[in-house]
Amino acid sequence: MNNAIGFILTLAAGVSVGVSMWPLKWARFWKWENFWFIYAIFSLIIMPFGLAFSVLPHMGHVYASLTFQQVLLPFSLGILWGFAQLGAGICVHRLGLAVAGAVLNGTGAAFGTIIPLVSLHREMLFQSNSLLIIAGIFMMIFGAGFCGWSGYLRELEAKQKGIGAGFAQKEAAMRQASFSSSAYLLTIGIAIGSGVLASLLNVALAYGGDIMKRAEGEGGQPAWTPFAVWPIALLGGAIINIAYAAYLLTKNKSWGNFSCGFREVVNPVISAGLWMAGIAIYSSGTTFLGSLGISIGFAVFMISVIVSGQAAGVFTGEWSQMKPKTYRPFVAGIGLLVAAVLAIGFSRYFES
């Protein structure tokens, strides 16, 4: 029964994260920087603090008792992770939900797997289950490459048809101008770099052990103590994201868009809620899976993130005006990503 609950929660968490950027397409007056400014405030400051203080007791006392060193490392790693979050937002804005999500999640999962394997568990490279891990990593790299190539073909076709970047004109927060080849490659590079840096949030949580112990000592449930680290780590990321959005708001003179009314505010708040809910549900869902949490749970989460993100992209028409031959490499890439996650998940299952 616990395994069933864990699978359902993990699946729901992945879907929540996978579709969390969908509301970006609902903006009709706001530009990307307006959306991202509010999104960063809610997802990286208001919601993490609200969640920690609502489910963990005496958090004010916990934070007051921490030393500077105990706060500095998670906060600093959060700043570096903030570049990954910012890069993800830029890539969704320029590439769309489907291509950005595939490249980001594919490269992120690949590097998030190979870096700990080589640096911390090098002896595993010579074990039988490492073949599945290595095969999965290569499939992720090739899968992300196929998706990136398909996105490039989409850009070329959209330019030939004179339809901008292939996004609807009513989607005010999405980029409307076509890419040059060099600009597209730069954006893919940002997606890859963001995928690599994305794992630093988990590293920040790993170095937040003292914070989690303090929270548990004050009566917090062990499964919820990671919530105590998030406000500190995500606050570091918030600085980067809010600062860049404020820069664009000033540069593009788009501060005045905030006067467009309540409806536009709802979109980034929903997006922030979906992202935060997915992260929170996943961390709790894996506790129901026991030893499966680090293996099959990881696979279920990543597959649901990838597939739901692509479904959102397809449903919102990112490929609707394209020829089938433009979309086929993308389908192949998604297939490779799903197969890669399954391979890595089962390798961890056999290991446990």
Which pLDDT tens digit goes with each residue over 173-196? Answer: 777 666 677 787 888 888 888 888
Q: Give the Cα separation of 306 and 345 in Å (integer).
A: 15
Residues in the chain, total = 352
pLDDT for 186 equals 87
Sign of the C-alpha dihedral computed for residues 118, 293, 299 and 309 taken in this order = negative
End-to-end CA distance of the chain: 20
Cα 143 to Cα 308: distance, rounded to the nearest angstrom: 16
CA 124 to each of CA 82, 121, 129, 132: distance values in angstroms, whole numbers, following the listed order: 31, 6, 8, 11
CA–CA dist 230, 276 (Å, integer):
10
**Contact of 34 with 27, CB cutoff 8 Å:** yes
For residue 79, give every residue at least 6 positions away whose Cβ sits within 8 Å of its Cβ, in sequence order, or none. Answer: 236, 237, 239, 240
∠ Cα 285 75 237 (to 5°): 75
Q: What is the CA radius of gyration of the chain?
A: 20
SS3 assignment, position 113: helix
3 state SS of 111:
helix
Contacts 24+ apart (CB under 8 A), 176-181: 179/94, 179/155, 181/152
HSE toward the beta carbon, residue 283, CA cutoff 13 A: 18
Token match 């959060």: residue? 78
- Tokens of residue 320, six digits: 């609707």
> Could you give the C-alpha distances from 308 to 11, 97, 303, in angstroms and in order?
10, 10, 8
**Per-residue model confidence (pLDDT) at position 128:** 62
| DSSP E strand stretches across 178-243 | none
Tell me the two tokens of residue 349: 């299952």
Q: Are 228 and 212 in contact (CB under 8 A)?
A: yes
Which helix (H) or strand (E) covers residue 310, if one does? helix 296-315
Of 333, 329, 274, nearest in space to 17 by CA: 274
Question: How far is it, in rounded angstroms, from Cα 20 to Cα 49?
Answer: 19
Tell me if 34 sits within 8 A of 174, measured CB to CB: no
Positions of the chain with pLDDT under 50:
none
Task: Please tell me the distance from the alpha carbon of residue 8 to that of residue 3, in angstroms, as a whole number.
Answer: 9
* Distance, C-alpha 122 to centroid of its chain: 27
Angstrom CA distances, 113 to 107, 133, 196, 295, 314, stand at: 10, 8, 10, 12, 28
Please give the model's pTM, rounded to 2 decimal places: 0.84
